[in-house]
Structure formats: structure tokens, C-alpha cells
Amino acid sequence: MQRLELGATKLTVSNMALGTWGLSGDGYGEVSEAVQDKVIERARLLGITTFETADVYGNGSMERRLGEKVGSDPKCVIVTKVGTDRDNEPARKCFKPQFLRERIDACAERLGRTPDVVLLHNPSHSTVERDDACRTMRELAASGAFKAWGVSAGSAEVGREAIAHGAQVLELAYNAFLSEDLTELEEDIRMENVGVLARSVLAHGLLAGHWSFNREFPDEDHRSERWTPTDLRRRVNQLEALRSLVGGDVLTMRAVALRFVLATEQVTSAVLGPRNIVQLDQLVREAGRTDTYLTAMQLTKLNNRLRDVGVLR
């Protein structure tokens, strides 16, 4: 596990982070507390020191579990996200200053420590542009409520606006099939020395390469509404681009997908989303033990194949 500086925050993070949305049960179905604990403990044993969560994951339960399991370790960096009002029915986004202050206080209470990084959780472009939420985050950071702040952004447009308003960290969806936002923001990230967390590195499991054309998901699994049958068939066909790199120490398409993210210079930490220790062990093992995750020749070959199958223009 490499240790990297998270942009200009003065925080050091592992280049693979444990994401906890899948563990919370919110996205894919229930996960027992015993399994949650085992995954967190295994992540620490494997050298992961960075943990990504949100105040709404498991209705706050994931923050409590992280607080219990890693909160006392000063080497562990905890990244959490705020900005979703689940007291409202249906849940809605809320980035009002008082709401943010209350929710961040609640995060610290559940974690049993000051959060290291707090991100605005998928705000709109207009929310970031107005600056009320960003100004509140700047003020809270200056007061010591957390060490660094940023935005979990749903688009390059939001990410660029966040950087313009002082965000020190960006979290972006980034994988071999979804690379445009980070590519568009490369110069902004470099100029302002912004730390980048890459989420959805396996595209919710698609890039592991195990799905058939007619894969179905249970109702409680968010993927049941993510793709139409036509979209899913097209995406499964496009996986041939990843298959072209399997060989040598790159054992699977899952390895290709993860190494693609880890080989990207702008990415500080890849957020993994395992739901059990078997999945976690597979990911860390297949990432390999080198800082050259994919060679320049392999990356060129992959990008050419992604163009061939219509993923890249």
C-alpha cells in the first residue's frame, strides 16, 4: 500500500481506501455488523489507512463503526460526507449553513473524533456557485471542526466550481468506462494541488467482468434501476476492451480496471467498495505490489481498445 499526500491538505492517505456505502446495506442489501467489522479490521491489516463514509450511510451507523474500529488510531484518515436531509420525506439535499454545522457536529460525535476530511455530498452546480455552503466549510475548517474540506462532485462542472471556491479535495466517479470528468479537470487539479478520491472504480461491479447479458438484480440493489437491458448488453460487450490486457501478472478484468485507476497520476486514493473480506482480499491482491500498475504501453493499448468498442471518442 502506497502512502500519498492528499493534495495540499498535509494529510497522508493510503492509495486504496475502504468505502463503506456497500457495507452499510444501503446500496446492495443488508450486511451484518459482524461482516462490517471483519472488513474494517481486514482493511487495517492490509495496510489501508483511509476510510470513506457519509453521515447517511446506514443512517449514521457506518460512522459509529469506523469510530469504534479506527477512530483512536491517529494514522487513520476518515473522510465523511454531509448534505443529505433524511429527516425529510422523501430525502432531499440540504446545504444550508446551520444544517451543515449541525450535521458535522453529529459526525464528530459518532466518530468520537474530529473528522479528517468532510465533503459536501453531491451538491448542484448552483449550490457551489452561490458559495454559502463552501464559505461555511472554509469557516469550519479554519475553526478546527475538521482538517480539510471538499466536494463529492457529480460532474466536471461541479468539480471545477468547487476548486474555484477553495475545495481541497474532490471525490469523483472514475473508472475505465467513465474517465471524462477527471480528464477534463486535470489542469485545475494540478494547478491548485487538489487531492482526488476516485469512487465507482469497478462501475458498481460491472468491470469485474462476471456478468451475463441478462444479469438481473434484486429490488433492494440500486443496480436494478441503473441500466436498461439494452444498456447492460452494450456495456457487457464493451468489456472486451479490458479483456485484451489480461495476462502476465494482470490476472483478471477486475485487476485491469483497478490498476487503470491506480495508474492515473491525478488519483490520490481509489475508493474500494467490498462487501466482504473475500472481495477486499481479491482487490488488494490483484492491484499488485508495484507502483507501476500498468505500463505506458498497456495504457495506450487499453485506451485504443476503449475507443474501438465505443467507450472513448
Query: What letter does residue 189 receive in the DSSP assignment?
Result: H
Return d(Cα 226, Cα 291) in angstroms, integer: 33
CATH number of 3-207+253-292: 3.20.20.100
Task: Pick left, alpha or beta for residue 2 (phi over 0 → left; psi -120 to 50 → alpha; otherwise beta).
Answer: beta
Q: Is 92 helix (H, G, I), strand (E, B) or coil?
A: strand
pLDDT, one tens digit per residue, over 200-229 is: 999 999 999 999 999 999 988 999 999 999
pLDDT, one tens digit per residue, over 150-208 is: 999 999 999 999 999 999 999 999 999 999 999 999 999 999 999 999 999 999 999 99
Number of C-alpha atoms within 13 angstroms, CB side, residue 148?
Answer: 23
pLDDT, one tens digit per residue, over 268-290 is: 999 999 999 999 999 999 998 87
Joined together, the cell numbers standing for residue 182 give: 477527471
pLDDT of residue 89: 77
DSSP letters for 249-268: TB-SHHHHHHHHHHT-TT-S
Write down how long the chain is. 313
Query: What letter does residue 94 receive in the DSSP assignment?
Result: -
Task: Residue 228: name the closest of 242, 208, 214, 238 by CA.
Answer: 214
pLDDT of residue 88: 77
Question: What is the arithmetic mean of pLDDT over 248-258?
Answer: 94
Sorted by where each begins, the domain ranges of the chain are 3-207+253-292
Band of residue 97 on the pLDDT scale cut at 50, 70, 90:
very high
Return d(Cα 51, Cα 12) in angstroms, integer: 12
Return d(Cα 5, Cα 11) in angstroms, integer: 6
Return d(Cα 238, Cα 285) in angstroms, integer: 25
Return d(Cα 272, Cα 46) in angstroms, integer: 13
Q: Choose the most confident range, by mean pLDDT, from 83-97, 152-166, 238-252.
A: 152-166
How many other CB atoms sit within 10 Å of the CB of residue 2?
A: 13
Mean pLDDT, rounded, of the chain: 96
Return d(Cα 46, Cα 283) in angstroms, integer: 11
Return d(Cα 206, Cα 204) in angstroms, integer: 6
